[in-house]
Amino acid sequence: MRAPHRAPLLAPALVSVLAVGLFGAAPLWAGEMTLPTLYTLHCSGCHGEAGHGVPASGVPDLHDAGSYVVLPAGRSYLVSVPGLAQSSLDDATAARILNYILRRFSADRLPADFAPYTTAEVTRLRTDVASDAETRRRRILSDLKAAGLLPRDYTAP
Ligand code: HEC
């Protein structure tokens, strides 16, 4: 039974390689650079570095998300998606990263009077997982179409 002894030796080595790789190029102004790094770490694995997701596999393109915030159900849906709600991010960071991805990928869809998500709002909405994300998403998209906020022939990715 020698093999299992290798894992504990490898793990710290891997952690330090990752830490150097990810944080080695530490930004001078952390406030500006932390969000892109957080996105890369927590979100890009599924949504891709450019935010286009893999629609064919059910991972949405984040460029659409800005439209959702017009509706209360859409606004709350964005907080409740598993990648955010069930992540290890604290509520303040989750709010910041959500505001960040909306502005980075979907600024052209955000309403002019968009009020950024607050920590308190994320705390309140994060646990709201009454129905599954896919069902809620479809309902919101059809409400957006009904309200003329999405083209009627828009097909959800
Ligand atoms: C494990 C893969 C995965 C990770 C990691 C992930 N997501 Fe997602 N995300 C999804 C899937 C799949 C959906 C579609 C809703 C669903 O089925 O849960 C989604 C939906 C979303 C939506 C709604 C977009 C829409 O059009 O419906 C937003 C916004 C979002 N994710 C943001 C994030 C953010 C921010 C992170 C990082 C903190 C993140 N996601 C991490 C897989 C992921």
Please report, in tens digits, the pLDDT of each residue of the chain (157 residues total): 444 455 455 454 444 445 445 555 544 333 444 899 999 999 999 999 999 999 999 999 999 999 999 998 899 999 989 899 888 889 999 999 999 999 999 999 999 999 999 999 999 888 766 556 677 788 888 888 888 887 777 776 6
Give a yes or no: residue 135 inside a domain. Answer: yes
Instruction: Say what the pLDDT of residue 22 is.
Output: 54
b/e 130-147 (16+ beta carbons within 10 angstroms → b)? eeebeebbeebbebbeee
Residues 60, 140 contacting (CB under 8 angstroms)? no
User: Going by C-beta distance under 8 Å and a sequence separation of 6 or more, which residues neighbour residue 151?
Assistant: 145
Structure tokens at 132: 């599954």
CA of 87 to the centre of ligand 1 (A): 10
Pocket test for ligand 1, best of 77, 80, 84 (most atoms within 8 A of CB): 84
Within 6 A (CB) of ligand 1 lie 42-43, 45-47, 58-60, 62, 64-65, 78, 81-84, 87, 97-98, 101, 133-134, 137
Give a yes or no: residue 89 inside a domain. Answer: yes
Give a yes or no: residue 50 inside a domain. Answer: no
Structural domain containing residue 118: 60-157
Give a yes or no: residue 3 inside a domain. Answer: no
Give a yes or no: residue 39 inside a domain. Answer: no
Give a yes or no: residue 136 inside a domain. Answer: yes
Instruction: Say what the pLDDT of residue 31 is.
Output: 41
Give a yes or no: residue 68 inside a domain. Answer: yes
Instruction: Say what the pLDDT of residue 14 is.
Output: 47
Give the count of domains, the chain: 1
Pocket test for ligand 1, best of 52, 54, 81, 105 (most atoms within 8 A of CB): 81
CA of 84 to the centre of ligand 1 (A): 7
User: Going by C-beta distance under 8 Å and a sequence separation of 6 or more, which residues neighbour residue 43?
Assistant: 83, 97, 101
Give a yes or no: residue 104 inside a domain. Answer: yes
